[in-house]
Structure 1
Amino acid sequence: MSAGTGAVRQVLAPIRGRLTLAAVIAGAGAVFTLVPLAGIAHLATLVLGDQGLRGQGVDGSVLTEAIWQTVALSLLALCLGLALVSVAELLAHLADNRLTRQLRRSAMDRLAQVPLGWFTSRASGEVKRALQDDVGTLHELTAHYYTIRGRTWGAILASAVYLFAMDWRMALVSLLPFPAFFLVFRAAMKAGSEENMKAFVDGQSRINNAVVEFVNGIPVLKAFAGSERANSRYRDAVEAFLQAFVAFTRPLVVPMANANAIISPVAVLAVVLTFGVLFVGLGWMTPVEVLPFVLVTPGISAPLQLLSFIGHDLHNATGAAQRVQALLETPVLAQPEAAEAALPSSNEVRVEQLSYGYDKQSPVLQAIDFTLEPGTVTAVVGASGAGKSTLARLLLRFFDPTAGRITLGGVDLRQLAAPELYRRVGFVLQEVRLIHGSVRDNIALGRPAASQQEIEAAARLANIHDRIEALPRGYDSVVGEDAKLSGGEQQRVSIARAVLLDPPVLVLDEATAAADAGNEAAIQAALSRFAEGRTLMVIAHRLDTVRQADRILVLDNGRIAEQGRHEELLARNGFYTRLWRLGGYQESTSC
């Protein structure tokens, strides 16, 4: 069993029994809907055949009664078949609704437990695709694929059994086009080589990437390279995809056309009539006995062609199931049991022999040791890629360390319940995350029960209250709709959110890096008021903003190269001094 098939089986496991039942009922319904065709053949036999009632000289009233019984049974079977097919569709759609609800709830439960760092390494579109698009793709599989297969196989098998019951010799020759179809269809599938298929899929990906680049980057491309350059990458991707599409489809066109021609109703009917005339001429059959084959055999063509087409649904659903299953199996952060959860005895943060790497070959942090004393400010500086932001995210438990530990009040963060951790440790990061909701909801995200007065007080401290009041609906304005906020204003909303939580420990990761001069001053003023009396860890890019810190940790290649106060570090004339000089600061301004 392939990985894709295994993923489909695993995702559909909760509703497999219901889908199987729906397929069986749909198959039974398809069988009953074929009864009218057999009824027509039976009527012809009654009226025209030598073995029928008229051929035996039976009274007209008896013949009429037999005709009406056949018509009534045919109509009853047709209604019953349609009812069964409707029941099967209802069962399949109910099962689909159940699975969709379960998958989305399971995914939400899973995402609530994954490390916060998992989100920073993935685009929101990736998660949206699995939760929305891929679950929607599975709808075609669960709501339609199984019932269609049930109907088609029910119709094919019932037709074959009926034809063999009529005359096995004629059944064999009448069904000859269908094995031929499978042979040609299989050859067509082999003609579409795996290499061409891969190029086709890669071409689709390149077009998607080119569209995103074209839309997002067109202002820059036009400004620096002209409009022709702005279109060239997209045009090249389209041309490359066209070539891949032609290479993929060209070997398939003729074999697929031949395969479909073999089982077209006209071709099948021609085979039936040819052998029917032959068998009648040989005296093996009467013309009336050929009629069931004329009526039923061409009807097998449509279900068989439908089976080949719905294979595309299974192919698409296989990829979707793999992505959904991967999302449901995303590793989660271990959470302590209620009985094991501990409460910190203080707000002191200790980092002990901390190491972390995204993989074993690429360590980001190695053997880090330091303590955040209550009420002090500790700054973390270093060159880009030194591990500053990773250290901040480990303190916020975006992910767990590879080795060592971080404790809060003597309790390992891994033994601290998440709500308790985020009540005690607040953060303002460079990447602002606001939800699609009102400004009030965004500020009160961590304290939904906060009063309007508390929310406004937090906004005032963050220097954003007046801007919110100027919005069309004030605090009720919705972010992204009637609340159009700049990057710096969004940052101040995130500061207000942290203020409302009132945590004793605060982590600031280059909170003003993306702000303009006016917003930076407002953010710095807000942070200064908010930070009073708290334990702070500040990730800084500009060294002149952390000169007054109680301690500065200098990271270099994932290790603490130096630590101390600003004046002490400059006096050592070491790595910090080189960073200071590279920043263009004057040493005389430090004292």
Structure 2
Amino acid sequence: MDTHDKASTRPKVRGPISQILQPVRGRLIVAGLLAAAGAMLTLVPLAGIAHIGKMALADNGLDPAQVWWALMAGVASLCAGMLLISGAELLAHLADNRITHHLRRALVQRLSSVPLGWFTSRASGEVKQAMQDDINTLHSLTAHFFTTSGRALGAVLISLIYLFTMDWRMAIVSLLPFPGFFLFFARAMKASQTNMQAFTAGMGRIDNSVVEFVNGIAVVKSFSTGTRAHSSYREAIDAFALAFIGFTRPLVAPMANANAMIAPVTVLGVVLVFGTLFVGLGWIAAPDVLPFALVTPGLCGPLLLLHYITHDLNHATGAARRVQALLDTPVLEQPAPGMPQSPKGNEIRFEGVGYGYDTGRRVLADVSFTLKPGTTTAIVGRSGSGKSTLARLLLRFFDPTQGRVTLGGVDLREIETCSLYRHIGFVLQEVRLIHASVRDNIALGRPSASQQQIEDAARTANIHQRILELPRGYDSVVGEDAQFSGGEQQRVSIARAVLLDPPVLVLDEATAAADAQSEVAIQDALSRFAAGRTLLVIAHRLDSIMHADQIIVLDNGIVHEQGRHDELLLRKGLYAHLWAQGGYSQSADLAVSSC
């Protein structure tokens, strides 16, 4: 098979707009055709006026019957055209509502299934732009572009047919300004496309800097001096200003020339000049110039409208490309339907696990160890050594790029998500409570739980009494009449995990956001909840994990040391160094001497 045959058999890749609008494309095409037909009918009265004008200028004078029929036909056509255009607009807006609803749901479902590592490499402003701003941009495309294009093209088409029917020679010369318009317009579009990417990127930088500024407003107010805290936003605005100048400067001259070429006065002047010439040459009668003087300047409006919506189409193409890219984001692999496996026991094994957020950014490499049922394993190491990443691999927030993690002998990728989280619970450093009642927050992973079960979980987490003090108790809504401190949020998170009652528990710096009083309450809750479970503990405070059954010491993403507390101290390696750095030397000596 030659290259040409291979190219002919290769599936065609549809453009981003075509992919996005696939569910409503048929409706939008029908809407555009209805709008075109409606626009044609609304121009019939103009032909009627020209016909009456020609009769008035003719020697025979006005024929009342013909005037009456011209008026009736014009009014009927105008009403029918308006009805068709209204129907087209309604159909387009219904299609827009459907596709907007579909896209928002699809984006949320997609983002709920993507690996957590995907979010770490992207700014929140970028995601917000695609989910909010770009969807709004697509509204103009679906609700207005097709009907506007239909009206403009319909008006141009019927006008051209009418003019060439009147006199083909006069029609040709009347249209002479329009090729010049298209020439300048093409130059403007070429210049616009060249700078569109920089323009869009500048808008994205502004979005990101705004989100960054708002998220850090407390720090800005506390520590900013002068305008230094606003430098990121100011730099983004300055860069966008330059991009905007680069985007608009090449457009000014060609668009000014294009608009001048088809200004109504220009077109009318051409019609009158050639009309006078043709009348002088005896090619047409003077009344025959009237239809061209009435209709030809009317072509300017539709053509300018096509220019404006074509400009909007460039924005919509970029928006559709970003939305489609979000919809094509790879998701975590799920077991084939009917093929998920059930873990046989609760033993967890990391087998040659490696992970990198992207190419050249390795986080973990060849990590292997086992979590025996009923034991406590602590992961320690310097900041950035990969401790939290290791915990999130066990929770399957993302999958390893090398090796595998197994639960009860089964690869986590072969276990259904709901089954996995019945076996593994977690309390992470970053607590996330949703905008819902306290009851719903605790029962997030087990919505069918009874009120008594929810309260028992809250008691275990030492948060029940605090909830009762809220204005509406368990019905209080987080963020409204339920305001929790960092430590209290952590205890709500613990209650959420308690309610699931998993045999395996992951703790990642569970007391990091707590004050001294809350830390005592959290530690007490965790000690009661963790009894008899398999624990994986991520800790910076080494004195909190010195009694763990095994301690894994990570350094630069690899297992540097592994063993019990006293064994690691005797080796005088990295763990002993971290222990000494933390000011635990005396405790270390006591621990060693007691062995």
- TM over 0.5, yes or no? yes
Structure 1 pair 578–231 and aligned structure 2 pair: CA distance change class (3 A): closer
1:27 corresponding residue in structure 2:
36
Displacement of 1:117 after TM fit?
A: 4.2
SS at match of 1:227: coil
Contact 1:117-1:393 at 8 Å conserved across structures = no
Contact 2:123-2:208 at 8 Å conserved across structures = no
SS at match of 2:110: helix
The one-letter code matched in structure 2 to 1:172 is: I
The one-letter code matched in structure 1 to 2:555 is: D
List 4+ stretches of structure 1 deviating above 6 A: none
Structure 1 pair 143–351 and aligned structure 2 pair: CA distance change class (3 A): same
Displacement of 1:214 after TM fit?
A: 4.6
- For 2:474 and 2:511, the matched residues in 1 are separated by 24
| Unpaired stretches in structure 2, ≥5 consecutive residues | 1-11
2:249 corresponding residue in structure 1:
250
1:337-486 matches, within 5 Å, as: 337-359=336-358, 361-486=360-485
The one-letter code matched in structure 2 to 1:579 is: L
2:6 corresponding residue in structure 1:
none
Q: Deviations over 1:472-508 (max 9, x none)?
A: 2222222222222222222211111111111110011
Contact 1:20-1:146 at 8 Å conserved across structures = yes
Contact 1:207-1:238 at 8 Å conserved across structures = yes
Structure 1 pair 253–123 and aligned structure 2 pair: CA distance change class (3 A): closer
TM-score relative to the length of structure 1: 0.92
Q: Deviations over 1:410-463 (max 9, x none)?
A: 222121111110011001111112211111111110111111121111112112
SS at match of 2:366: strand
- For 2:92 and 2:232, the matched residues in 1 are separated by 44
Structure 1 residue 520 corresponds to structure 2 residue 519: yes
1:36 to 38, 45, 52: 45
1:282 corresponding residue in structure 2:
281
Q: Deviations over 1:118-169 (max 9, x none)?
A: 4455555544433333222211111110111111011111111111111111
1:561-572 matches, within 5 Å, as: 561-572=560-571
2:140 corresponding residue in structure 1:
140
Structure 1 pair 92–332 and aligned structure 2 pair: CA distance change class (3 A): same
1:46 corresponding residue in structure 2:
55
SS at match of 1:70: helix
Displacement of 1:581 after TM fit?
A: 1.2
Displacement of 1:11 after TM fit?
A: 1.2
Q: Deviations over 1:357-380 (max 9, x none)?
A: 234534322222222111111101
- For 1:514 and 1:213, the matched residues in 2 are separated by 21
Structure 1 pair 361–240 and aligned structure 2 pair: CA distance change class (3 A): closer
- For 1:206 and 1:448, the matched residues in 2 are separated by 40
Structure 1 pair 94–215 and aligned structure 2 pair: CA distance change class (3 A): closer
The one-letter code matched in structure 1 to 2:411 is: D
Structure 1 pair 249–335 and aligned structure 2 pair: CA distance change class (3 A): closer
The one-letter code matched in structure 2 to 1:46 is: M
- For 1:182 and 1:235, the matched residues in 2 are separated by 39
The one-letter code matched in structure 1 to 2:34 is: I
Displacement of 1:107 after TM fit?
A: 2.8
Structure 1 pair 162–85 and aligned structure 2 pair: CA distance change class (3 A): same
SS at match of 1:430: coil
Contact 1:28-1:81 at 8 Å conserved across structures = yes
Displacement of 1:308 after TM fit?
A: 0.7
Among all aligned residue pairs of Structure 1 and Structure 2, give the percentage whose two residues are the same amino acid: 65
1:525-544 matches, within 5 Å, as: 525-544=524-543
The one-letter code matched in structure 2 to 1:495 is: I
Displacement of 1:294 after TM fit?
A: 1.3
* Range that drifts further, 268-277 or 429-438: 268-277
TM-score relative to the length of structure 2: 0.91
Contact 1:352-1:368 at 8 Å conserved across structures = yes
The one-letter code matched in structure 2 to 1:517 is: A
Displacement of 1:193 after TM fit?
A: 8.2
Displacement of 1:39 after TM fit?
A: 0.8
* Range that drifts further, 129-138 or 3-12: 3-12
The one-letter code matched in structure 2 to 1:551 is: Q
- For 1:368 and 1:467, the matched residues in 2 are separated by 42
* Range that drifts further, 339-348 or 126-135: 126-135
The one-letter code matched in structure 2 to 1:250 is: R
Contact 1:221-1:229 at 8 Å conserved across structures = no
- For 2:144 and 2:535, the matched residues in 1 are separated by 57
Structure 1 residue 15 corresponds to structure 2 residue 24: yes
Contact 1:5-1:318 at 8 Å conserved across structures = no
Q: Deviations over 1:191-214 (max 9, x none)?
A: 5683x5555445444444444455
Contact 2:54-2:287 at 8 Å conserved across structures = yes
2:7 corresponding residue in structure 1:
none
Structure 1 pair 488–550 and aligned structure 2 pair: CA distance change class (3 A): same
- For 1:362 and 1:235, the matched residues in 2 are separated by 30
The one-letter code matched in structure 2 to 1:148 is: T
Displacement of 1:388 after TM fit?
A: 1.1
- For 1:161 and 1:25, the matched residues in 2 are separated by 19
SS at match of 1:76: helix
Structure 1 pair 233–81 and aligned structure 2 pair: CA distance change class (3 A): same
| Unpaired stretches in structure 1, ≥5 consecutive residues | none
- For 1:193 and 1:184, the matched residues in 2 are separated by 15
Contact 2:378-2:537 at 8 Å conserved across structures = yes
Structure 1 pair 225–443 and aligned structure 2 pair: CA distance change class (3 A): closer
Displacement of 1:539 after TM fit?
A: 0.8
1:95 corresponding residue in structure 2:
95
| Root-mean-square deviation over aligned CA pairs | 2.4
1:584 corresponding residue in structure 2:
583
SS at match of 2:184: helix
Displacement of 1:277 after TM fit?
A: 2.3
Displacement of 1:172 after TM fit?
A: 1.2
Displacement of 1:511 after TM fit?
A: 1.5
Give the aligned length.
579
Displacement of 1:181 after TM fit?
A: 1.1
